[in-house]
Amino acid sequence: MAVLSRRRRAITLAGVAALALAASACGSSSDSGSSNADKPECQPYSQYRVDKTKHVSIYATIRDTEAEKLEQSWKQFEDCTNIKIDYEGSGEFETQIKVRADGGQPPDIAVFPQPGLLATFAKSGQLKQLPASVQANLDKNWSKDWANYATVDGKVYGVPLGANVKSLVWYSPGLFKEKGYEVPKTWDEMIALSDKIAASGIQAWCAGIESGDATGWPATDWIEDIVLRDQGPDVYDQWVNHKIPFNDPKIFSAAERAATILKNPKYVGNPKTIVTTSFQEGGLPVKDKKCGMHRQANFYSNQWPKGTNVGPDGDVYAFYFPPVDPSKGKPVLVGGEFVSAFSDRDEVVKVQTYLASGEWANSKAKLGDWISANKSLDVSAVTGTIDKLSVQILQDPATVARFDGSDQMPAQVGSKSFWTGMTDWINGTKDTKQTLDYIESTWPK
């Protein structure tokens, strides 16, 4: 190589210097954690602190905006404790978690949307039982019902993360006001209202159960909600745990009750269109006053177009899906996710403990569109109107909460034959008896 000209040499030197600077800048950012730890806002996190930067991987179904909020919610925790959380959300979680775990590369922490799935991994011995510090937070912050969902053979494997309330019916307060409709308080009032709406030429109910290869799930929520109302929580528990068969006459009665709405052309138009209408679009006609009611969980609030005013006097709002017999309490169908660990490394336990704390729940709720059944959750921290309503329902002493049944049933039923069975049922290719017999026949022996 020829000798560099002076100019060239200067440029080279500058380049080297810049690189060195950049490298040192990178270097300093990695140990900034330790200096952060002394700041006053890091005081609450002192118990979680580790000396050297450690990584904890979390794998879950939560994606996009919701995932960003999740990462935001533990940002301060990361800054103060030297624990870096590598979060990954996937729409294929249910299938990929098995591939990863069986392949020997499970995440440190998995967030299961279904207790049934969690139980599969607990039974195969891959999940770790809750460490003492996490168990303490679970006992402090959740009711026994919620703690039970992630309990397998008497051992606890998971802590609830978020929660959703499924027993809600969306409606248009504007339409109700115009026509002088009242929010129904009982099942019979709701049916009378449906008749009134249908008579006025508006579709009384709208629904959509198309959801890619999970098509059918919204209909399973309908059946579960109505089993809870038609038969009560005890029969519901027996049904979910297969103490009574899936095609028990009690379940048949509940399914027939569901059919009076879902398969009733007077209320829903052509029921067959329900199977090709996507879950996301299912309730949208409510906003345009083209449809009276839409039964869907609180998370449906994310589906309304931008600028929709959600509230008691807004474009859309929801009422509690009324009971058949109000004297027997308020049955509520709930759903949620559970945090379980495949590893018991110190930093993993610390993250688990933090996620089970009231501090985290409040930090997450402040970011909006999210609720939890965590008892330490401050209702004033909850932002959305629907979320407030949901938390009120969850914390109401009259509430009898039951977890989404299909999520607790074995995967062969809960995420397969129950879905396809419901699709065929609404599509009219199977009647109620055939549908229930079919699902019963797929229950693993």
Partner 1 sequence: MDYDFSEDVAKIWPALMFMAGFIVVVGALLFVLDILPRWGRGKERLQMAGFLGPALVLLGIGLVYPLVRTVYLSFYDAGGDAFIGFDNYTWIFTNDDTLTMLRNTVLWVVCVPLFATGFGLLYAVLVDKARGEGIAKSLIFMPMAISLVGASIIWKFIYAYRDPGVEQIGLLNQILVWFGGEPQQFLSNEPGNTFYMIVILIWIQAGFAMVILSAAIKAIPAEIVEAARLDGANPWQMFWRVTMPSIRPAVVVVVVTITIATLKVFDIVRTMTGGQFKSSVLAVEMYNQAFRSYDDGKGSALAVLLFLLVVPIVIYQARQLRHRTEIR
**Residues found near partner 1 in the complex (CB under 8 A):** 23, 26-27, 29-30, 53, 71, 86-87, 94-95, 98-99, 120, 124, 212-216, 269-270, 272-273, 275-276, 411-412, 415-416, 419-420, 423-424, 427, 429, 444
Count CB-CB contacts under 10 A for residue 42: 18
Q: How far is the CB of 23 from partner 1 (least distance, A)?
A: 7
Measured from the CB atom, is 217 or 321 closer to partner 1? 217
**Least spacing, CB of residue 217 vs partner 1, in Å:** 11
Q: Which is nearer to partner 1, 40 or 444 (CB)?
A: 444
Q: How far is the CB of 41 from partner 1 (least distance, A)?
A: 19
Query: Long-range contacts of range 252-261, CB-CB < 8 Å, 24 or more positions apart?
Result: 252/432, 252/433, 252/436, 254/223, 254/226, 254/227, 254/229, 254/230, 255/223, 255/226, 255/425, 255/432, 255/435, 255/436, 256/432, 257/226, 257/230, 258/222, 258/223, 258/226, 259/432, 260/191, 261/194, 261/205
**To the nearest whole angstrom, how small is the minimum distance from the Cβ of residue 178 to partner 1?**
21
Provide, rounded to whole angstroms, the least separation between the CB of residue 39 and partner 1: 19
CA angle 221-218-285, nearest 5°?
120
Which DSSP state fits 409?
S
Q: Nearest distance from residue 366's CB to partner 1, in Å?
A: 21
CA angle (274, 277, 283) in 5-degree steps = 90
Q: Which of 274, 275, 232, 269 is nearest to 253 (CA)?
A: 232
3-state secondary structure of 104: coil
Q: Which is nearer to partner 1, 253 or 427 (CB)?
A: 427
Structure tokens at 190: 């709701």
**Residue whose CB is less far from partner 1, 6 or 52:** 52
CB of 53 to partner 1, least distance (A): 8
Q: Which is nearer to partner 1, 23 or 192 (CB)?
A: 23
Backbone angles phi, psi at 180, to 5 degrees: 70, 30
> What is the phi/psi pair of residue 110, to 5°?
-115, 140
Three-class secondary structure of residue 165 per DSSP? strand
- Between residues 124 and 186, which has the closer beta carbon with respect to partner 1? 124
Nearest distance from C-beta of residue 371 to partner 1, angstroms: 25
The smaller minimum CB distance to partner 1, of residues 215 and 374, is found at 215
Q: Quick one: 366 or 416, whose CB is closer to partner 1?
A: 416
**What H or E segment, with its residue span, contains residue 314?**
none
> Per this entry, what is the length of the chain?
445
Residue 138 to residue 386: CA distance in whole angstroms: 26
